[in-house]
């Protein structure tokens, strides 16, 4: 096993949050612009980070530009605080931001960086959610030219995207997009909400917390400001719907660990082929389990 990485002794060579102050200021300016124009993909000079692009460098640059010594940070990957990506990003912030607290509890965090999930617990206006984004532009599936895509966004012309959804309905009887579901923000720009499942898309609508999305490789930052409309694209006669967790008897499946019937579930397949379901949000699962055990003990 590799020895844990440590910064060189003369830590004065690194500013708080690894990025230099000029870089942080530039990211903050892009954030302000992104908030002022909800859903607009604001370009910024994405910096080289000491990790591969695609490992959350966009989200990390947002986090490092926002985090201060009074903050409590939670990092989630696919709902879990313990996966490799989440652990590494959290350790990197601990290493470069002395004084910043880290937590696994959603309710205690002031800043939450996440990949692929929005926490189950409703976020408050005292919290900021940072989502890591691989592909920021929902139009990329229908238009290869960025210049043309920009014009389409400016004109609010999403007809080709709607045609794509319609073709899905013709072919499969429903819209087959499972994640990265195109979502219209504040009645104008349509965003790629990052690879969160459909289940999480309604949580963006009128969210009390500021939601920031950062794409490091594509050099874009965009935002869903607090209490802003976020409406998934759909048709009047084919409404948007989230993942269905009902079994063949019409019963809502429950988490096999905590028994919750109101969370997004991961399907687990055992060696013998039997299936079970468990909360994807590990903190929510722990919380429900603790509540059950406390209830059973009294």
Name which position in 93, 264, 285, 287 contacts Zn ion (CB under 5 A): 285
Does 279 engage in binding with Zn ion (CB under 5 A)?
Answer: yes
Catalytic, 97? Answer no
In the complex, minimum distance from the CB of residue 267 to Zn ion, in angstroms, rounded to a whole number = 13
Instruction: Name every residue whose Cβ is closer than 8 Å to that of residue 71 and which is 6 or more positions away in sequence.
Output: 100, 101, 110, 111
Tell me, yes or no, if 256 is annotated catalytic.
no
CB of residue 279 vs Zn ion: minimum separation in angstroms? 3
- 258 given a catalytic annotation: yes
Structure-derived torsion over alpha carbons of residues 227, 218, 184, 240, reported in degrees to the nearest 10: -110
Size, binding site for Zn ion by CB under 5 A: 6
Minimum distance between the CB of residue 61 and Zn ion, rounded to whole angstroms?
32
195, 258, 264, 282: residue in contact with Zn ion (rule CB under 5 A): 258
The strands making up 190-191's β-sheet, listed across from edge to edge, are: 190-191, 183-185, 230-232
Compute the distance between CA of residue 173 and CA of residue 101 in angstroms, rounded to an integer: 48
Helix residue ranges per DSSP H, 110-226: 146-154, 159-172, 201-204
Cα–Cα distance measured from residue 20 to residue 11, given in angstroms and rounded to the nearest whole number? 13
User: Contact letters (x/-) for Zn ion, 201-240, by CB under 5 A?
Assistant: ----------------------------------------
Pick the closer one to Zn ion by CB: 160 or 275: 275
Provide CB contacts within 8 A for 128, sequence distance 6+: 66, 110, 111, 112, 209, 210, 211, 212
Among 257, 276, 286, 292, binds Zn ion (CB under 5 A): 257
Determine what percent of the chain falls in helix, strand and coil, rounding each to the nearest 5.
30, 20, 50
Q: Which of 106, 255, 277, 287 binds Zn ion (CB under 5 A)?
A: 255
**Interacting residues with Zn ion (CB under 5 A):** 255, 257-258, 260, 279, 285
Catalytic residues: 39, 255, 258, 279, 285
């Amino acid at each position: 096993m590799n020895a844990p990485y440590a910064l060189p002794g003369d830590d004065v060579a690194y500013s708080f949050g690894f990025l230099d102050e000029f870089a942080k200021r530039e990211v903050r300016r892009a954030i302000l612009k992104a908030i002022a124009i909800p859903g607009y993909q604001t370009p910024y000079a994405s910096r080289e980070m000491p990790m591969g692009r695609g490992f959350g460098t966009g989200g990390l640059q947002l986090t490092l530009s926002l985090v201060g010594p009074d903050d409590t940070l939670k990092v989630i990957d696919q709902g879990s605080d313990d996966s490799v990506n989440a652990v590494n990003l959290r350790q990197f912030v601990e290493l470069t931001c002395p004084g910043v607290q880290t937590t696994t509890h959603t309710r205690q965090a002031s800043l939450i960086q996440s990949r692929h999930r929005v926490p189950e617990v409703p976020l408050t206006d005292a919290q900021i959610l940072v989502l890591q984004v691989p592909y920021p532009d929902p139009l990329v599936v229908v238009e290869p030219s960025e210049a043309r895509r920009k014009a389409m966004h400016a004109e609010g012309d999403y007809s080709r995207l709607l045609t794509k959804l319609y073709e899905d309905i013709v072919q499969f009887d429903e819209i087959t997009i499972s994640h990265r579901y195109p979502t219209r923000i504040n009645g104008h720009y349509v965003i790629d909400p990052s690879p969160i499942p459909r289940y999480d898309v309604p949580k963006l609508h009128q969210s009390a917390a500021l939601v920031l999305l950062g794409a490091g490789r594509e050099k874009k930052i965009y935002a869903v400001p607090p209490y802003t409309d976020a409406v998934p694209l759909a048709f009047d006669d084919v409404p948007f719907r989230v993942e269905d967790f009902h079994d063949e008897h019409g019963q809502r499946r429950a988490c096999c660990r905590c028994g919750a019937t109101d969370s997004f579930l991961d399907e687990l397949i055992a060696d013998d082929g039997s299936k079970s379901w468990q909360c994807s949000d590990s903190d929510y699962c722990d919380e429900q389990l603790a509540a059950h055990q406390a209830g059973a003990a009294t």
